[in-house]
């Protein structure tokens, strides 16, 4: 008889044992590979985390640097396209200078009584408005100069500095007469004018209305009491326009429709240089005259009285020293007049005696520009 071979239950055959041994060997080999590979995966993960951290740190430094840059500027928050809120620090300074901000004098002009603040540098809407410019009208006016904007948190704010010329250092804003004469010589002009690099560093600024600038206006033009402009003479030191400053070449816009009243070049040292006067037409048939002074020479080319002006039109650009009357800080002198001037001129500075009537004849430009300060 043939032999019957038996195997005990649960005991693997020799073939099965070989298979099991092979599988076990494969398992050990696979585990070893995973152990070898695991450190590489950990290294890659750590490298990824370090890279992400570096990116986050760089981003944080960029934000911090931006905030530091913003904090170095004087700021104002716009209420609309060109209307600005008060600079609180500066307003408190002005209030401290004026002890009795509610004191007024009364003056009659052509049968109408107006209240004139006794103290200078008063807040917006403190001065008489003989034209009747409303807030709704003001919201529709185009900015005369468009200030750049910067970010503060989640909001964009206008970037300009409100100037204080009550303590100006003499003629620091006006180039000396001898140098000014050399600037009209083409051979000397190129070396005396600011470079493009210097021009780009010029900040945007606002010079105030109804500000006494005793130390700035000390040339013959302002000190000679026999000089008369539209009936205004005497020792003239009180500024009755608003200066909008910026780099040479900054665009100057018409705030409303109208026609050119007069245009020309006022050649005296410390005068307007190239200047345009526009008769602006307001709602309801009203009119107001605006002077745009200290422009470049190209601003007046091709312009003549009677030319139509459209709201938002580029009237000209800020002029350099040799064409703006000799002023070292480029700016447009923006002045309003309730009456048409005789020519392309207005008394941008008046005497203390003439100040009350000047506040009526030459209204606060903030009625057009908005609350710049």
pLDDT value of position 238: 96
Place of tokens 């070989």: 18
207 is a domain residue: yes
pLDDT value of position 119: 96
186 is a domain residue: yes
300 is a domain residue: yes
The total of structural domains in the chain comes to: 1
pLDDT value of position 63: 57
pLDDT value of position 56: 66
Query: Which one, of 367, 163, 127, lies nearest residue 255 by Cα?
Result: 367
Q: Look up the pTM and report it.
A: 0.75
Contact 221, 348 (CB under 8 A): no
Q: Quick count: other Cβ atoms within 10 Å of Cβ 228?
A: 11
H or E segment to which residue 53 belongs = helix 14-71
C-alpha span between 187 and 192 (Å, rounded): 10
The CATH number linked to 167 is 2.70.70.10
Q: What is the pLDDT of residues 124-167, one digit of tens each?
A: 999 999 999 999 999 999 999 999 999 999 999 999 999 999 97
pLDDT value of position 235: 85
9 is a domain residue: no
pLDDT value of position 62: 60
Q: Which two tokens stand for residue 29?
A: 């080999």
7 is a domain residue: no
Residue 341 Cα to chain centre, angstroms = 29
261 is a domain residue: yes
pLDDT value of position 218: 78
C-alpha span between 161 and 176 (Å, rounded): 25
Query: Residue 337: beta bridge partners?
Result: 289
C-alpha span between 124 and 13 (Å, rounded): 105
pLDDT value of position 47: 53
pLDDT value of position 55: 65
Assign 289 to helix, strand or coil: strand
Query: Which one, of 41, 114, 143, 84, lies nearest residue 368 by Cα?
Result: 143
pLDDT value of position 215: 86
pLDDT value of position 78: 39
pLDDT averages per 10-residue partition of the chain, 373 residues: 42 48 50 51 54 64 51 38 40 45 85 95 96 96 97 94 82 83 77 88 97 87 80 89 98 98 96 98 92 98 98 98 95 98 96 96 98 96
pLDDT value of position 10: 44
Tell me the residue range of the domain where 154 lies: 135-194+201-367
């Amino acid at each position: 008889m043939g032999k019957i071979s038996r195997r005990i239950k649960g005991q693997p055959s020799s073939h099965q044992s070989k298979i099991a041994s092979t599988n076990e060997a494969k398992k050990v080999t696979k585990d070893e590979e995973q152990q070898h590979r695991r450190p590489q995966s950990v290294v890659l993960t750590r490298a990824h985390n370090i890279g992400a951290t570096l990116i986050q740190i760089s981003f944080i430094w960029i934000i911090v640097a931006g905030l530091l840059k913003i904090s170095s500027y004087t700021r104002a928050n716009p209420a609309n396209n060109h209307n600005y809120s008060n600079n609180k620090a500066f307003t408190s300074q002005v209030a401290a200078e004026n002890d009795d901000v509610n004191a007024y004098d009364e003056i009659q002009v052509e049968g109408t009584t107006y209240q004139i603040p006794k103290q200078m540098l008063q807040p917006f809407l403190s001065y008489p408005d003989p034209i009747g410019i409303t807030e709704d009208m003001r919201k529709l006016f185009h900015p005369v100069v468009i200030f750049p904007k910067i970010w503060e948190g989640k909001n964009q704010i206008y970037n300009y500095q409100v100037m204080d010329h009550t303590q100006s250092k003499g003629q620091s804003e006006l180039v000396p007469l001898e140098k000014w004469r050399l600037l009209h010589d083409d051979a000397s002009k190129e070396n005396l004018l600011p470079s493009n690099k210097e021009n780009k560093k010029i900040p945007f600024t606002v010079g105030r209305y109804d500000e006494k600038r005793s130390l700035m206006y000390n040339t013959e033009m302002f000190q000679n009491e026999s000089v008369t402009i539209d009936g205004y003479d005497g020792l003239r030191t009180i500024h009755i326009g608003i200066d909008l400053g910026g780099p040479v070449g900054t665009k100057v816009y018409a705030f409303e429709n109208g026609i050119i009243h007069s245009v020309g070049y006022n050649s005296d040292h410390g005068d307007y240089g190239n200047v345009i006067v526009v008769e602006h037409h307001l709602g309801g048939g009203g009119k107001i005259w605006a002077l745009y002074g200290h422009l470049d020479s190209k601003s007046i080319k091709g312009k003549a009285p009677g030319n139509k002006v459209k709201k938002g039109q580029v009237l000209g650009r800020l002029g350099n020293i040799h064409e703006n009357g000799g002023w070292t800080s480029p700016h447009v002198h923006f002045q309003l007049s309730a009456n048409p001037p005789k020519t392309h001129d207005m008394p941008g500075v008046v005497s203390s005696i003439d100040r009350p009537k000047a506040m009526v004849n030459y209204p606060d430009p903030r009625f057009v520009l908005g609350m710049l300060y």
